[in-house]
Structures are given as C-alpha cells and as structure tokens.
A and B are shown apart, each in its own frame.
Chain A
Amino acid sequence: MDPYVLLKLIWWLLLGVLLCGLGVMVGMDMGVGAALRYYGRSDGERRAVINMIAPHWDGNQVWFILGGGAVFAAWPTIYATAFSGLYVVMLVLLWSMIVRPLGFEYRSKLPSQRWRKGWDWMLFISGAVPMIVFGAAMGNMLEGVPFHFSWDMISYYTGSFITLFNPFAVLCGLMSLALAIYQGSAMVMGRGSGEIRERAMRLLTWAGTAALVLFSVCGIWVSQMSGYAITGGANPAGPAIPLDKTVATLGGAWLHNFMAYPVLWVVPAAVYVAVILGMGAARSGHSHLAWWLGALAWVGTIGTVGAAMFPFMMPSSSNPSQSLTVWDASSSAGTLTWMLVFTLIFIPIIAIYTSWAFWVMRGKVTPEKIEHDEHAY
C-alpha cells in the first residue's frame, strides 16, 4: 500500500480513537454534570458527586482539546471548514463548555446556597449542551453540510444556523447525551454509596434504554436518508485537494459499506450488546464492568458512523463533489508522519499516568468524608 494512503487511514482511525476518548472521558464528566441534581439531593450529596470527578475532569477535558488540535494538525481542511461552517453550533458548544471549569472550581468556594444552586445549573448546562452539540455535529456530518470552495480553497458556508439543529441532528445529540449519562452513572455507582449509588443505578438503566432506542431510530433514519458515493476522480494516494472528484447523492448510500463488507454489522451490534450487558452488570452491582461496556458502546457508536461514511468525513450537501474525504482533506505525508511519531510516544505515557492518577484517587467518596476534607471542592 502507498505510504500516504496508509498514513491517511491511520489518522482516520486515530481520529476515531480521539472521538471515542472524548465521548468516554469527557462524556462521563458531562453526564455527571447533567445529572448532578438527580444524583445528589442535598448540597452534601452533590459535593460528594462533584468530588468524585474533581481530580480528573481537567485531565479528561484534554481529550476535547486534543481532539481540536489533532483535527487541526491531521485534517486541517476539516478543521477549517467544519469549525467555521458550524459557527453558531461551535459557539454554543464553546460557551457552554467554558463555564464548566468555573463550575467545578468556584461552586463550593462560598457557602451561600443560592451561589451553589446557580453553579449546579451551570454544571447542568455545561454537561448537557456540549454532549447534545457533539452528537448533533456527527448527525450533520451524516446529512452533509452546505459548503463549497473557491478555486483558491477559501470555504463558504451557505446554510443557516438553524438547519444545523434539524430533527435528525437533535436525535443524534440526545443519543450522545444518553450515552454520556450512562457513562457518568456507571462512574458515580462505582464511587458512591447508599442513596447516591441507588440513584445512579436507576439512571443508568434509563439512560441505557434511551440510548438503545435513539440508536435504533437514528440507524433507521440513516438507512433511509440520501448518502454520498464517490463516482470518479478520487485518488487515495493523491495530494489533499478536494476539488478533483465527482460525488453523487444516493438514497441508502450509507449502507453500501455494510453491504460490501457484512462483517461491519458487528460494529452497530456491539452497541446493543454492550449497553444491554452493561445495564445487567450495573443491576448486579458490577459498576466497573458497566463502565467499560459503556466505553465499548461509544466505540460502537462512533465506529458505526465511521463505517457508514467511509471514506467521507464531511460531505457537502450543496456541492457534493467538493465533499471532504479521507483521501483529500488530510495534512501532507510529512506532517502525518511526525504527528504519528509523537502520538505513538505520548499516548502510552498519557495512559500510564492517567491510570496512576485514577488509582491514587480511588475509593468511595461520601458526603461525610468531603465534610472533613479541606482540599475538596
């Protein structure tokens, strides 16, 4: 295989890994934020829940930041086109997300109940909204976004922002929120006790069920919508310029890959298996297992989108031939190689110290312990 093709494929997979990392790690914290007022009824209980993720939310959030940086480095055309095209969506994402660090850090600094309640709502918004936007952005990618390029590769977005929140995209957003709440609940179950643990278990079942229903609805929708297919001119080993190919829109095109390679059905099936087993594991008290199965559900969900769309990454609904694909939206071979070297060196190191951090801070967090801990939030 041509080395440039291989690099593009590796970076397509690595983008998937990053999105999964984002879903699992950031999603977990955001699920906790979104359901904080459900897990904890009193201020003491809520503090306990917040302190379960207190030492970790910042590290986890780097998955989101790295996601942005890696898309910039490996898929600069996507970074430029998607982030500017989805401008209002990105702003909603950003504004809801930047409230979150303050919510964690400042909430318990003052004893006032009004202050704390206000921040609780901020944590709700900054948990729920970004996950909905994350899913909705994926939904928009499946539907295609109205953009085109001029000859000198300046991109123009021609849609209105309201179409970005169409019904299908919102359903995808809710699906992503459901998975996030599932993941957060599995973590709260593991590190909480008593009432908090009970509530987390109940919520996990609800969230898991909702995720499966939404995944099914979205799946049927995708199978019926008009997808995209390359009809000529694409050169996988060619330079990264998305102007030289032809693309057609076809009903059911997003199923073509599954029909050509039936083994791919394993990927969506994994979502069902993981969530159903995960809910069972949670019911029998194995929260740790439920958490890992939730992570598998994220991999299955993002994998399903990737498998359906490949090699498309960001189709253009207004000018399909200028759609961005794996073959024509990446960095140069040199940049992809250097980035791969850094990734291969640092991802294992990150995995080691992140695991160490979780291990150091392991154990149950209870309202009583938090009461006597001067370092707690």
Chain B
Amino acid sequence: MHDLSTVVDLSRTQFAATALYHFLFVPLTLGLSVLLATMETIYVITGRDIYRRMTHFWAKLFAINFALGVATGLTMEFEFGTNWSTYSHFVGDIFGAPLAIEGLMAFFLESTFVGLMLFGWDRLSRGKHLLVTYMVALGSNLSALWILIANSYMQRPVGSHFDPTTMRMELSSFPDLIFNPDAQAKFVHTSVAGYVTAAIFVLGISAFYMLRGRHLDLAKRSFRVAALFGVFSILATITLGDALGFINGHAQPTKLVAMEGLWQTAEPLAGFNLVAWPDQKAQRNDFEVKVPYVLTPLVTHSFNQAIPGAHALENAAKVKIRDGIPALEALHTLSKHPHDTDALAQFRAHESNLGYALLLQRYAPDVGKATPAQIDKAARDTIPPVAPVFWSFRFMVAAAFTMLAFLIVATNYSVRNRITKKRWLLRIAPWMIPVPFLANETGWVVAEIGRQPWTVYGQLPTWLSASTHSVGYMVFSLTGFVLLYSLFIVIEMYLMVKFIRLGPTDGSTQPDSPTPALHSSQWSEA
C-alpha cells in the first residue's frame, strides 16, 4: 500500500512537472502565431517593408520557442500510456478520440505549414505566404481546442457511461463530448491567455530596444500592435475566466471550495476571502481577511444562492460513497458471472456513484466491509488541497489585473505616440514578461490540483489511475526528465536572450540604426 501511494505521488510529480514545463512554451506559440499573422497581414495590405521585417524577426524567436514546445509535447502524448495506464484503459474510449483528432486536424496543419512559414519566404508569393502563416495560427489554436476538449472530459465527464462488460467508460454521445460547456469556456480562456502571453513578450522586448535606442521603428510598431492585441486579449481572458469559474464551479463544487477557502457553507450574501491561511487538517482558515458581500454575486452570478462549503460537501460525499458500494460489489460479481441479471440490476441502480466506491477502495480493499471511519477518510479525500489552489487562484487573478492595468497604460501611450517618452513604462515592460507565464502555470494548478482526488471527476480516483510501476522505475524516469529538461531550458534561454540582444539582423534597408550587417551585405553585393 505504501509503495503504491509513493508510485502514484511520483507519477503525479512527473506529470505535473512535464505538463507545467510544456505549458511554458505552448501559450507563447499560440499567441505569437496569431501576432505573426496580424503583422504579416498589415505587411500584405500596406506593402510596407517594415512589417515584413517585423514578421521575420518575431518569427525567429517564435521558432526557438516552438522547437521546445514540440519536443516537450511528445512527452505529453505518451505519458498517459506510460504512467497512467489504468486511466488510459478506463477512459481511452473517450479521451483518446480528441487527442487523435488533434493530431489529424491540428498538428499536421501546424507542423507542415510552420516549415513553409520559416523556410518559404523566397519561394511563395506574399499572399500565399500569408495564407501559410494563417494556417500555422489556425493549427496551433485548433490543437488547443482539442486538447482542452480532452481535458474538459476529465473535469466534467459528459457523453459517456461505464460499461460493466469492458470495465471502462464508453462513449455514448460524441457531440456531448465536444460541446462540453467546460471545454467552450476553457478553450477561449486558455487561448486568449496565450495571446496575452505573446503580447507581453513582444512588449517587453520592444521596450528593451526603445530604452537602448535600437531598432526604433520596428520596436515602436511592434509595441503598438502587441499592446492593442494584448488589451483585447486580457479583457477576454478575464471575462472567460469568470465564465469558466461559474461553469466549472457548478460542475466541481469541491474545486470552488478550494479556490475560495470555504469550509462552511456560505449563506448569501457571503464575503470573499481576499487572503486566508487554510489549515487542511483542522478544516478551517487560521486567518482570513474578507471583503463583505462580494463572494455570492461573484460565484453564483446571483444574490440569493448559498455556496456549499467543505463540510457540507464531505457529508454529501459520504452518502455517495455508501451508495456506490453496491455498484462496485455488483461489478465484482459480474466479472465472474457476466450473465448475472441481479448483479447487473444492482449495478445499474448504483452506477452513478461507482467512482465514490473506488475512492473508498483505497482504504477498504473489500468495500462491503468498510468501517464508518474508512468512509469518513474517503469522504475527506474529496476536498482537494485547499492552500495551493487558493493561493494559485489569487496569484493568477492578481496577475491578470496587473497585466490589464499595464496593457491599458501601454496602449494609451502607444496609440498617442508618446511611448518613447514614458521611460518608466519602458523600464517596467521587460519585467512584466514572466507575469503571464506564471499566471498560466498557476491557472493549470488551479484547474488540475483543484480536480483532485480525481483524474476523471467523480468517476476515477487518482490513486487508482497510475501504471503499476516500481518506485525504482519512477525514480529513474523522473531523474531523466529533470536532467534533460533542465539542460533544455538553459540552452533555450541562452539562445533566446542571445537573439533578442542581437535584434533584427536582416535589416538591409533599416534607416534608424545602421548595423554591421548592412555594411557586410553591401560589400558582398559590390
């Protein structure tokens, strides 16, 4: 038993580490592809060479980032099978489909056209190259759509049922799966968060050039495009974040409890915990600062609904666990006597709470003999770790509003063409670059730690989902990933910084800062 929970913990650590790492590169790819398409569109419409050079330059940085996104994405495609084989068997009939469609519809598109985008400048007409860039942006956004449809199934398992013959979840409605309300909100929220990431990345680097007085024309225009793009994107991110919180909060009340640090049911109009120090063991906040009346309208979009707290949800979970026990027992009978109609009837009567019985199985391998204490323990597990979710959520929201303020100010000065005079803003801008990345990561933490103790909410507990590896295997793989990924990030950051410092180099017609490249190209042509 001890071994099993160590393996599950190590598998979780590895998945979180590789997913969070992958998610450092993906949002930038998502957003930068759309920004590149925007810049190139301006070039094709106006015919002004500066926009071609802008597209070239940012595409170079895009490529450095893209390579690591692709590389670390390979890990993700295989990690479900290598480390979460029970999960993969349990929901593969549903979860695999959006992943495969992502490959068919999105990865092929993105990956085939990215080659043409980077290498086809001299072989394609302007219009065709622009089309290629659009395809890259479309491909990366479609891949976000499908992977989030898959993720949303873990958050809100719709369009499926458990089949007692094949011992797994099976698809009942494909349209329900793809039109999962969670997926809709999550897709837009996540992709526009990627746009914000790219906007702030471009703003920071452009500001760096302006401060140094280098590549002024390119920097000012890039700054303006990115600021406008960013301000709309952050507004969409916040709006959809609220929608997602609303939708997901209803589907997963336990996550909501963790996000808001709610141990007791919040009767309307409840106050919002601005800061709190949640104590998971004692199930209370040791310390909290409340903003009165705000929580109820924020979470329920109404003034009269109560929000169930951890205690109430735990009690509800106990009922579900007890109800699920006959389902699991019937399943055991059915595995030996597949045609036992009584067992099937018993299973059907209780199947909606099968997942809760599996939760109990951790403490009582024979669930029929479970003691009330074991049921209490399993029920307590249904509340995710509150502190990391609570604080990640607050960090993410604070970061979003900081970025909103920054982007509004940046847009204002940039549009009025006074940005180069606002050196204080230019000095802040490069330091803003890590903010969206951290917000993305904390967003992932809220969504996925908040989903605990489930891999598939209400259906499959995390403790049961991992592959049955030895601890030794897990230590080996985790060590390998840590070493390899650490090396990768060092190399990537080194190249990124180097090419940012180098700046745009293909500027043979650059008026504002004659570079050595200008002279050498004149030499070679002469």
Taking beta carbons and an 8 Å cutoff, which residues of A are in contact with B?
51, 54-59, 61-62, 64-66, 68-74, 76-77, 79-84, 87-88, 90-91, 94-95, 97-102, 104-106, 109-110, 151-157, 239-241, 331-332, 334-335, 338-339, 342-343, 346-347, 350, 353-354, 357, 360-361, 373-376
Closest to B483 in A: A95
Q: CB of B506 within 8 A of chain A? A: yes
Q: How far, in angstroms, from A147 to B66 measured CA to CA in the complex?
A: 38
Question: Which of chain A's residues have a CB closer than 8 A to the CB of B103?
Answer: 62, 65-66, 69-70
Contact residue among A84, A95, A240 (Cβ-Cβ distance under 8 Å from B467): A84
What is the bound-complex CA distance between A69 and B79, given in angstroms? Answer: 11
Are B93 and A331 closer than 8 Å at their CB atoms?
Answer: yes
Would you call the interface of chain B mostly helix, strand, loop, or mixed?
helix
**A87 with B92: in contact, given A55-B119, A62-B107, A98-B72 (CB under 8 Å)?**
no
Complex contact A87–B477 (CB within 8 A): yes
What interface size band does chain B fall in? 35 or more
Interface 9-mer from B169-177, B302-310, B397-405, B420-428: B169-177
Give the shortest distance, in Å, between A61 (CB) and chain B (any CB). 7
Q: Which of B80-88, B207-215, B248-256, B387-395 sits within the interface?
A: B80-88
User: A71 to nearest B CB, angstroms?
Assistant: 8
Please report the C-alpha to C-alpha distance between residue A109 and residue B496 in the assembled complex, in whole angstroms.
11
Tell me the complex Cα distance, A65–B80, Å.
13
Stretch in B94-102, B227-235, B345-353 touching the partner: B94-102
The answer on a CB contact under 8 Å between B467 and A72 is no
Cβ of A102 and Cβ of B68 under 8 Å apart?
Answer: yes
Residue of A at shortest CB range from B338? A244
**Contact assessment for A72 and B99 in the assembled complex, using a CB-CB cutoff below 8 Å:** yes
Please list the residues of chain B having a beta carbon within 8 angstroms of any beta carbon in chain A: 63-64, 66-68, 70-75, 77-78, 80-83, 85-86, 88-90, 92-97, 99-105, 107-109, 111-116, 118-124, 135, 163, 165-168, 170-172, 174, 331-332, 335-336, 464, 467-469, 473, 476-477, 480, 484, 488, 491, 495, 498-499, 506
* A94 proximity list for chain B (CB < 8 A): 74-75, 78, 82
Q: How far is the CA of A69 from the CA of B135 in the complex (A)?
A: 22
Contact of A104 among B67, B82, B107 (CB under 8 A): B67
Judging by beta carbons under 8 Å apart, are A72 and B96 in contact?
yes
Could you tell me the distance between the alpha carbons of A42 and B151 in the complex, rounded to whole angstroms? 47
Inter-chain CA distance A153–B88, complex, in Å, is 11
B477 — which chain A residues lie within 8 A by C-beta? 87, 91
* Residues of chain B with a CB closer than 8 A to A73's CB: 92, 96-97, 99-101
Residue of A nearest to B95 (CB): A72
The one of A51, A81, A106, A110 that contacts B85, using a Cβ cutoff of 8 Å: A81
Find out whether the CB atom of B112 lies under 8 angstroms from the CB atom of A98: no
Which of B104, B172, B336 is within 8 Å of A346, CB to CB?
A: B104
In the complex, are the beta carbons of B82 and A239 less than 8 A apart?
Answer: no
Interchain Cβ contacts under 8 Å between A and B, 23 examples: A55-B118, A58-B70, A62-B112, A65-B77, A65-B107, A68-B78, A70-B103, A74-B96, A76-B93, A79-B92, A84-B83, A87-B82, A91-B480, A94-B75, A98-B74, A106-B495, A109-B495, A152-B335, A153-B168, A154-B464, A342-B100, A342-B101, A374-B506
**Shortest CB–CB separation between residue A29 and chain B, in angstroms?**
12
A83 near B85: Cβ-Cβ < 8 Å: yes
Is the pair B491, A102 in contact by a Cβ cutoff of 8 Å? yes
CA distance A77 to B88 in the complex (A): 8
Which one of B105, B115, B168, B498 contacts A59 once the chains associate, using CB atoms below 8 Å? B115
* Further 15 A-B residue pairs, CB within 8 A, beyond A62-B111, A100-B71, A110-B495: A56-B112, A59-B111, A59-B115, A61-B70, A64-B74, A68-B81, A69-B103, A90-B82, A156-B468, A239-B166, A334-B171, A334-B174, A343-B104, A373-B122, A374-B506
Flag if A375 contacts B99 (CB, 8 Å).
no
Q: Is the beta-carbon distance between A241 and B167 smaller than 8 angstroms? A: yes
A128 to chain B, nearest CB (A): 17
User: In the assembly, what is the distance between CA of A5 and CA of B338, in Å?
Assistant: 21
Separation of A275 and B246 alpha carbons in the complex (Å): 61
Which of B78, B93, B101, B113 is within 8 Å of A90, CB to CB? B78
Is B123 in contact with A98, judged by CB distance below 8 angstroms?
no
**Complex interface: chain B residues within 8 A of A154 (CB):** 85-86, 89, 464, 468
CB distance from A175 to the nearest CB of B (A): 23
CB of B108, distance to nearest CB on chain A (Å): 5
Bound CA span A59–B109, Å: 8
A76 to B464, CA, bound (A): 17
Whether B100 contacts A70 by the Cβ 8 Å rule is yes
Q: Are A69 and B99 in touch, CB under 8 angstroms?
A: yes
Chain A residues with CB below 8 A from B171, complex form: 331-332, 334-335, 338
Specify which chain B residues have a CB less than 8 angstroms from the CB of A74 in the assembled complex.
Answer: 96, 100
Task: Pick from A56, A73, A90, A347 the residue with the most CB of B within 10 Å.
Answer: A73
| Contact call B88/A76, Cβ cutoff below 8 A | yes
- Chain B residues lying within 8 Å of A102, measured Cβ to Cβ, are 67-68, 71, 488, 491
Residue pair A97, B88 in contact (C-beta under 8 Å): no
Point out the residues of chain A lying under 8 angstroms from B100, CB to CB.
66, 69-70, 72-74, 339, 342
Tell me whether A239 and B120 are in contact in the complex, defined as CB-CB below 8 angstroms, given that A90-B82, A98-B75, A100-B71 are known contacts. Answer: no
Do B93 and A332 have beta carbons less than 8 Å apart? yes
Please, how many angstroms separate the alpha-carbon atoms of A228 and B124 in the complex?
A: 54
Query: Which of these, A58, A91, A347, A375, contacts B114 with CB under 8 Å?
Result: A58
Q: With a CB–CB cut-off of 8 A, which chain B residues contact A375?
A: 118-119, 121-122
Asked whether B82 lies within 8 Å of A84 as measured between CB atoms, the reply is yes
Question: B70's contact among A76, A101, A373, by CB below 8 Å, is which?
Answer: A101
Q: Please name all residues of chain B whose beta carbon is closer than 8 Å to the beta carbon of A84 when the two chains form the complex.
A: 81-83, 85, 467-469
B81 near A82 (CB under 8 angstroms)? yes
- Which of these, B104, B124, B468, contacts A157 with CB under 8 Å? B468
Complex contact A72–B111 (CB within 8 A): no
Q: Flag if A55 contacts B120 (CB, 8 Å).
A: yes
Tell me, rounded to whole Å, the shortest Cβ–Cβ distance linking A123 to chain B: 13
Among B64, B82, B105, B335, contact of A105 (Cβ-Cβ < 8 Å): B64
A152-B167 CB under 8 A given contacts A72-B80, A72-B81, A98-B72: yes
Q: How far is B82's CA from A76's CA once the two chains are assembled, in angstroms?
A: 12
Which 3 A-B residue pairs are closest in the complex by CB-CB distance?
Answer: A76-B92, A83-B81, A55-B115
**B97's contact among A80, A153, A338, by CB below 8 Å, is which?**
A338
Q: Which of A109, A332, A376 contacts B170 (CB 8 A)?
A: A332
- Please, how many angstroms separate the alpha-carbon atoms of A94 and B76 in the complex? 10
A156 to B332, CA, bound (A): 19
A76 and B89 form a contact (CB under 8 A): yes
Q: A335–B488 Cα gap in the complex (Å)?
A: 38
Residues of A within 8 A of B71 (CB): 98-102
Contact B115 A361 (CB under 8 A): yes
In the bound assembly, the distance between CA atoms of A216 and B335 in angstroms comes to: 45
